[in-house]
């Protein structure tokens, strides 16, 4: 089976980079990956000892962190190769790196069809040591798109070209993000790069037979409940008006806590094992929910915003559901 490069960019997808990275290292991840040098420094300062791959562009970065914190850069442009080579030469050290090939995403990476012209300079850099070649899929989560298969073929051709240019057979290959890992074992190669899957989330619209449990939960508690008479409104903008006698509960969680404004009138929460709708606006530090159908809601009752409250399938709200409600990822 392939080894695992565990992706912990963006504060480990919001879960806390330091704690998550140490847990993944303990669980056996071969390598961690992050977006930029600054994120890599955070991981090192948290005590991470395994190799750390930096995905992002380096051409305009301060490169000192690569050397001080032993990070593995991605070389994806000629200017990045020259910058890292010059920095390594001035320090009289050699830097191990991963080479990124652009096979159709058209962001970072050396074009797959231009390698014979572009790679010799990089491969000839005396202070750069190539450890791996990789690419990134643009449509792995879309089974209808033919580009996924085209990128796989282009990547394999690019690797063959690199070998012809002198890249050793021992240089590794990787391509599969979470969606590609689930979709096609042919792209597992030597490493896979799960991100969302590490946190118990299957990239929509894909499904999986893996027994995954979402890592994150978000809970609050009811702080007050009150009755509404017909016609009375709740919250900023008076967006919700009761058309019959109703009971609402006030929950101290809002957009400052990460609840998207679009959850107003669309999202639900769990109270006493029941699903109840968010009514009125999402405020900075407060929401209101309609608990008319729930018996005897009291201050102190647990409110599940993301997570589980009961054993039935409908007694769980995950981030996929929340994202679908507001039309985002």
Active site (annotated) includes residue 236: yes
Distance CA 270, CA 253 (A): 14
- Give me the phi and psi of 110, to 5 degrees please: -75, 130
Is beta strand 52-54 parallel, antiparallel or unpaired with respect to 72-75?
Answer: parallel
E strand or H helix at 89: helix 78-91
Catalytic residue chosen out of the listed positions 9, 13, 100, 189: 9
State residue 244 phi and psi, 5-degree precision: -155, 165
Q: Is 66 exposed, middle or buried (0-12, 13-18, 19+ CB in 10 A)?
A: buried
Distances in Å between the alpha carbon of 45 and those of 22, 31, 32, 69, 71? 11, 16, 14, 9, 12
Among 134, 189, 236, 255, the one annotated catalytic: 236
Note if 13 is an active site residue: no
Which residues in 290-307 are b (16+ Cβ under 10 Å) and which e? bbbebeebeeebebbbbb
Provide the H-helix boundaries in 125-165.
147-164
Rounded CA-CA distance 147/303 in Å is: 43
Cα distance between residue 183 and residue 181, in whole Å:
6
Alpha carbon distances (Å) from 77 to 13, 81, 100, 160: 26, 6, 8, 20
Contact 131, 171 (CB under 8 A): yes
Cβ 95 vs Cβ 129: under 8 Å: yes
Separation of alpha carbons 194 and 4, rounded Å:
8
* Residues with catalytic roles: 9, 236
């Amino acid at each position: 089976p392939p080894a695992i490069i565990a992706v912990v960019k963006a504060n480990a997808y919001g879960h806390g980079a330091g704690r998550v990275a140490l847990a993944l290292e303990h669980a056996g991840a071969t390598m961690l990956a992050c977006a930029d040098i600054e994120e890599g420094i955070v991981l090192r300062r948290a005590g991470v000892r395994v190799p750390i791959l930096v995905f992002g562009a380096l051409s305009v970065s301060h490169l000192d962190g690569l050397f001080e914190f032993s990070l593995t850069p991605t070389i994806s442009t000629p200017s990045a190769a020259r910058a890292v080579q010059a920095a390594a030469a001035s320090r009289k050290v050699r830097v191990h790196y991963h080479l990124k090939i652009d096979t159709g995403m058209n962001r970072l990476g050396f074009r797959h069809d231009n390698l014979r012209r572009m790679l010799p300079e990089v491969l000839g850099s005396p202070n750069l040591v190539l450890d791996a070649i990789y690419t990134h899929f643009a449509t792995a989560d879309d089974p209808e798109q033919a580009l996924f298969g085209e990128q796989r073929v282009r990547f394999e051709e690019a690797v063959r070209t690199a070998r012809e240019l002198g890249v050793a057979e021992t240089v590794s290959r990787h391509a599969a993000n979470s969606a590609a890992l689930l979709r096609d074992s042919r792209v597992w190669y030597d490493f896979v790069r799960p991100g969302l899957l590490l946190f118990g989330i299957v990239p929509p619209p894909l499904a999986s037979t893996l027994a995954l449990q979402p890592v994150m939960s978000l809970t609050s508690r009811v702080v007050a409940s009150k009755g509404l008479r017909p016609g009375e409104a709740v919250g900023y903008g008076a967006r919700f008006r009761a058309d019959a006698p109703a009971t609402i509960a006030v929950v101290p969680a809002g957009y400052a806590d990460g609840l998207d404004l679009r959850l107003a009138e669309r999202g639900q929460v769990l109270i006493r094992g029941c699903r109840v709708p968010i009514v009125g606006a999402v405020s900075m530090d407060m929401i209101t929910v309609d608990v008319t159908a729930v018996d005897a809601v009291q201050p102190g009752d647990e409110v599940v915003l993301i997570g589980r409250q009961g054993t039935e399938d409908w007694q769980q709200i995950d981030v996929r559901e929340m994202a679908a409600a507001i039309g985002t990822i």
